[in-house]
Amino acid sequence: MQQPASQTYDLLITADILLTQDADRRIIEDAAVAIKSGKISALGSRSALAHIVAKDHLHLRRSLLMPGLVNAHTHISMTFFRGLADDLPLMEWLTRHIFPREKHLTAEIVQLGALLGCAEMIRTGTTTFQDMYLIESAVATAACQAGLRCRLGEAIFAFPSPAYATPQEAYALVREQAACYKNHSLIGIAIMPHAVYTTTPEILTACRDLAHELDLPMHLHLAETIEEVQSCLDMHNRRPVEYCRELDLLSPRTSIAHGVALTDAELDILALTRTCVAHNPRSNMKLASGVAPVPGMLARGRLPGLGTDGASSNNTLNMFAEMSACALLHKVHSMEATACPAQTVLDMATLGSAAALQWPQLGRITPGAPADLIALDLDSPNFQPLYNPVSHLVYAASGHELSMCMVDGKFLYKDGAFVSLDYPMLLLEAQKLKKWVLDRRD
Ligand SMILES: [Zn+2]
């Protein structure tokens, strides 16, 4: 019997395996997902959904369908610095290679760098990212063009940036961005003071008040290195976590990037205040920052999110690489093979990151959740044989098994090609980026 039009779905996707990341972590074989108006409407076994009428069908043979991954911390436009200056101490890298070029940034360069980053994320299964950079309006434009979901914030410093001359101008800019993207389906805004060592107590409290006034999340780098802890002690006579707690910055509204140099007492403070953490294992390893005490966070009932940081300190934006690094790092660091098991790491890259972005509907396939989905080719050589899909996602996948990527019910990658981006054109434009970077040699 024909169903009334109101019960007709936009799309029905079938797949051999559906990994839901729902509360029971259900994995359904021979499954189907129905989508309507960009949201998951129904899911289950294919036979249970056999009655469904949809305008379109996508039969993903020999595929695993799962929620898109969520990157909890990045600076997406920094793709233009990828591989420019590796293997250097953090401060030398920043002051000799990055900062001198960043002061010349333009909206066009930021947007182009972001588009390259979007292409990489789409191609490796990331559907949402949290971004902090300069001239973030250009990142928003790129994310909309690519069709990716994004929580973004202008990096707020005590010194001028290419986007503003004073912190007051930065706050005005953030207000404009918040008004511009209020109720936008793909873009959310956050207040993002860069870090303790690049701001002042006045800036941090102004950011806190702005976040409360506009009811927006906050995100900042915190406790990334021992050197940061020492400089905070020298300047404020407090370690970074204590300093932020006294400024009333730590709350469920706030997510911190890194959280490497933390004591047990500081882990307690972060857990008590329900502050979220975005863990960036590859960046922390590459910059020799240290190892974030993730097992200590998990032991306190806190699930961190997972992020890549910028492509200049990783050097990829690939969340599959990040998951593998996360699991391996914490095992060898704790000398416990049971540390950070695969399901926990997958939870970090989906549910934990979604919580860090204050976008709790993401990272799962449940009725009502946004249709942000990816599919992986189960016939990939590195997936043979298949006993446990979660194990393969964390320990065997490279991300290039991806065969489909969708955000908000719209295809971004399908049948081996980008849908939302003109990738050949983007490759040509990327040559401009390289020239721009090299021409700004100081
Ligand atoms: Zn960062």
Calculate how far, in angstroms, residue 63's C-alpha sits from the geometric centre of ligand 1: 34
Mean pLDDT of 221-239: 97
List 128's β-bridge partners, or say none.
70, 149
* pLDDT one-digit tens code per residue, 284-336: 999 999 999 999 999 999 999 999 999 999 999 999 999 999 999 999 999 99
Sign of the torsion formed by the C-alpha atoms of 119, 280, 199 and 82: negative
Calculate how far, in angstroms, residue 258's C-alpha sits from the geometric centre of ligand 1: 8
Calculate how far, in angstroms, residue 58's C-alpha sits from the geometric centre of ligand 1: 38
Sign of the torsion formed by the C-alpha atoms of 14, 15, 16 and 18: negative
* pLDDT one-digit tens code per residue, 115-142: 999 999 999 999 999 999 999 999 999 9
* pLDDT one-digit tens code per residue, 347-405: 999 999 999 999 999 999 999 999 999 999 999 999 999 999 999 999 999 999 999 99
What is the spatial distance between Cα 298 and Cα 279, in angstroms, rounded to a whole number?
Answer: 12
Calculate how far, in angstroms, residue 177's C-alpha sits from the geometric centre of ligand 1: 21
Question: What pLDDT shows up at residue 5?
Answer: 46
What torsion, rounded to 10 degrees, do the Cα atoms 227, 229, 230, 234 define? Answer: 140
Does residue 13 carry a pLDDT above 50?
Answer: yes
Calculate how far, in angstroms, residue 310's C-alpha sits from the geometric centre of ligand 1: 6
Categorize the per-residue pLDDT at 188 as very low, low, confident or very high, splitting at 50, 70 and 90: very high
* pLDDT one-digit tens code per residue, 39-83: 999 999 999 999 999 999 999 999 999 999 999 999 999 999 999
Calculate how far, in angstroms, residue 133's C-alpha sits from the geometric centre of ligand 1: 9
pTM of the model: 0.97
Calculate how far, in angstroms, residue 73's C-alpha sits from the geometric centre of ligand 1: 6
Calculate how far, in angstroms, residue 290's C-alpha sits from the geometric centre of ligand 1: 15
What is the spatial distance between Cα 285 and Cα 67, in angstroms, rounded to a whole number?
Answer: 27
Mean pLDDT of 90-101: 86
Calculate how far, in angstroms, residue 256's C-alpha sits from the geometric centre of ligand 1: 10
Categorize the per-residue pLDDT at 4 as very low, low, confident or very high, splitting at 50, 70 and 90: very low
Radius of gyration for the alpha carbons in the chain, expressed in angstroms and rounded: 21
Calculate how far, in angstroms, residue 425's C-alpha sits from the geometric centre of ligand 1: 29
Calculate how far, in angstroms, residue 27's C-alpha sits from the geometric centre of ligand 1: 34
Calculate how far, in angstroms, residue 33's C-alpha sits from the geometric centre of ligand 1: 35
Calculate how far, in angstroms, residue 196's C-alpha sits from the geometric centre of ligand 1: 13
Q: Which two tokens stand for residue 431?
A: 């040559």
Calculate how far, in angstroms, residue 416's C-alpha sits from the geometric centre of ligand 1: 31
Question: What pLDDT shows up at residue 6?
Answer: 52
Calculate how far, in angstroms, residue 221's C-alpha sits from the geometric centre of ligand 1: 6
Categorize the per-residue pLDDT at 1 as very low, low, confident or very high, splitting at 50, 70 and 90: very low
Question: What pLDDT shows up at residue 440?
Answer: 85
Does residue 94 carry a pLDDT above 90?
Answer: no
Pairing of strands 39-45, 27-36: antiparallel
Question: What pLDDT shows up at residue 202?
Answer: 98
What is the spatial distance between Cα 129 and Cα 219, in angstroms, rounded to a whole number?
Answer: 13
Per-chain mean pLDDT for the chain = 96
Categorize the per-residue pLDDT at 3 as very low, low, confident or very high, splitting at 50, 70 and 90: very low
Calculate how far, in angstroms, residue 309's C-alpha sits from the geometric centre of ligand 1: 5
